[in-house]
Every structure is written in structure tokens, then in C-alpha cells.
Amino acid sequence: MLAKVKDSEVYSLFEFTLELAEKHLHVLRDIFKAEKFDLPIGFTDKGVNLDAPPLFTDTFWLVYIHEMTMHGLAGYSISLSVSAHKDIRDHYYQCNIDAMDLYNKSIEILIWKLEIFILT
């Protein structure tokens, strides 16, 4: 998304989202290593074509981030409440805080964009 988003506020939101994702992945890697679990491979750069045209508008991505954050808030709360290990509870606690921050950022941008739309 960062390669295609043109709106500076949406771009900034995606940068923040990426920072959170990288932070969460670091914590999960440490937990997996401590438990001697294999790390999943997941997505790689080979599956991304940065030269492809954008599939969606910046507005779509803004709404998408906002909606996914609401799902994250629900999921992280449930995950925290069913976790016994302290390191896992600590992780989901921080994920909840991060998701609340992301929610606040996304809703503020959405409200701002809506006000601009109404005024024009």
C-alpha cells in the first residue's frame, strides 16, 4: 500500500500500521523461539509486484484499516481473556493498546475527510 497510496494522511496511517505490525512480529518471533516453535514463512517479497497499478482508492484503504482495527480490538480482547501464559497476555495487552491508538488515528482521519466532503 505504501507504494501506491497518494493521500499523505492515509500514507502516514499505513506507516504507523506497518510499525505496529513489525513490532508485533518481533514479539511473536521471540515467543516462538523461546518455545522452540518453527517460524512460519508467511508472505514474502516474491508475492508482491510493486509495479502493478493500484487496485483500490486511498479512501477504500482508509476505511479498510479502520474496519480491520475494529476486528483487531475484538480479537485481541478475546485472545487476552483466554491466555494463560504471562508473555502471551502481555503481548495481547499491548496489542489492545496499539489497536486503540490505531482506531483513534483512523477515526480522526475519517471524520476529517467526511467534514471536507460535506463542506465541498
pLDDT tens figures, 89-102 = 999 999 999 999 99
Nearest residue to 110 (alpha-carbon basis) of 6, 13, 1: 13
Q: What is the pLDDT of residues 33-56, one digit of tens each?
A: 999 999 988 878 788 888 889 999
- Predicted confidence (pLDDT) at residue 120 exceeds the cutoff of 80: no
Four-point Cα dihedral 65, 5, 116, 12, nearest 10: 70
The cell numbers describing 18, all together, are 506497518
pTM of the shown model: 0.87
Q: What is the pLDDT of residues 61-111, one digit of tens each?
A: 999 999 999 999 999 999 999 999 999 999 999 999 999 999 999 999 999
Round to whole Å and give the CA distance between 109 and 112.
Answer: 5
